[in-house]
Structure 1
């Protein structure tokens, strides 16, 4: 699954530069031009990481960070702060607010990308690892290959993305709406029942004689990757 990075930056030229470079490095990027818009975007779809400018219109970066740390869905979301403030006291204040890392402008784009990857490796390793494993199931992102008990599993593109997402958090139940947002995209308008169709295809592709069904259906709640299915 492509890591989702929210860039909160009011300088349009820098935001465009960040957008271009992060997308080139394989991240899915959304932008917010002020703190208020950032909080709205986070409420719509919690990102995997936030690149957050210190000085923002409407709601400051420090306040955005505080609110992220106070939210149940976002308290563990990694936050990397960007700022022109280089004094030690400002850095300490940013980190005390809850930021995980702190980069002073101007900065090297390669350093920023490296820091983002390091944060994700620490907080969401499943997003950057090349290989995911659960029970006898293996998804190899580098080779775009899925095997179960050593046998190849042939999946369509949507089923592959769906499995990638479920394997990131085995055992957790995801609603159909959450799966739609994560696999199809928050701005894609498709029927909720589309999820049922693709889960059915995924379940069929993973099925092996004598082996447990790895997809668990939870009535009125959604689906999970779970050997208890």
Structure 2
């Protein structure tokens, strides 16, 4: 079983990008968008590390570090801070984190640390968890979708939907899961709205690729069709 990483962030876009990178390296991820639930979620799910998206003026990191100490988990869970440039570095030091990185950071730096600190995933997970899409790629830094090097015009919601599907390729994602990652938490979204946006995404990809890559599973949801995308 590959290592699970709990990512604490209120930015769904940032979580999807980071999750895509981490899953490509063989890790599993879970989003914690309510910071005071981070320690409980990590403990319940057996996470190997907590990665905190630290914004200026936020007390999230200190609260999580304190929660780990109170539960006696500080030595069992690796605490990593991804620090915005204007965040107070003294606060990061006081939180006694295991490692901190200033954003933006090269993904290989984070992956190198994770591999050295908590190890890699199992051979099985690293071999097939996330397939390589030869002609369909996400440009993480530019938040673009590229087909054979050419950009595909997608709305922000369609981009987030595709990121979620590709980040756990082959698995069927329910409409409720897709709503959670693609729309703001305060928005009321009906399942039919997901179908509409998936339909637009499917047509855009079909025009660019010349084939369908999104599979509909009746009464369940949607998945990227690995067999056709490889």
RMSD: 4.6
Q: Which runs of 5+ in 2 are unaligned?
A: 1-5, 17-29, 52-63, 82-89, 119-130
Alignment of 1:202-213 (within 5 A): 202-208=201-207, 211-213=210-212
SS in 2 for 1:172: coil
SS in 2 for 1:187: coil
Cα deviation, 1:47-93, whole Å, max 9, x if unaligned, reads: 2588669xxxxxxx9xx54x6433xxx333733651399xxxx6994
1:75 corresponds to 2:59: no
Structure 1 residue 177, shift from structure 2 partner: 0.7
Structure 1 residue 210, shift from structure 2 partner: 7.8
Q: In the alignment, what sits opposite 2:92?
A: 107
Alignment of 1:75-94 (within 5 A): 75-76=46-47, 78-79=49-50, 81-83=64-66, 93-94=72-73
SS in 2 for 1:139: strand
Alignment of 1:125-164 (within 5 A): 134-164=133-163
Relative contact order: is structure 1 or structure 2 higher (C-alpha 8 Å, sep ≥ 6)? 2
Structure 1 residue 206, shift from structure 2 partner: 0.5
| Structure whose CA Rg is larger | 1
CA distance in 2, matches of 1:194, 1:77: 36
State TM-score, norm by structure 2. Answer: 0.54
8 Å CA contact 1:84–1:106 kept in 2: the answer is no
Query: In 2 relative to 1, CA 205–166 (structure 1 residues): closer, same or farther, beyond 3 Å?
Result: same
**Divergent runs of 4+, >3 A:** 48-53, 67-70, 90-93, 105-113, 115-123, 208-212
Query: In 2 relative to 1, CA 135–180 (structure 1 residues): closer, same or farther, beyond 3 Å?
Result: same
CA distance in 2, matches of 1:120, 1:51: 26
Structure 1 residue 193, shift from structure 2 partner: 0.6
State TM-score, norm by structure 1. Answer: 0.54
8 Å CA contact 2:166–2:224 kept in 1: the answer is yes
Q: Which runs of 5+ in 1 are unaligned?
A: 7-21, 29-45, 54-60, 124-131
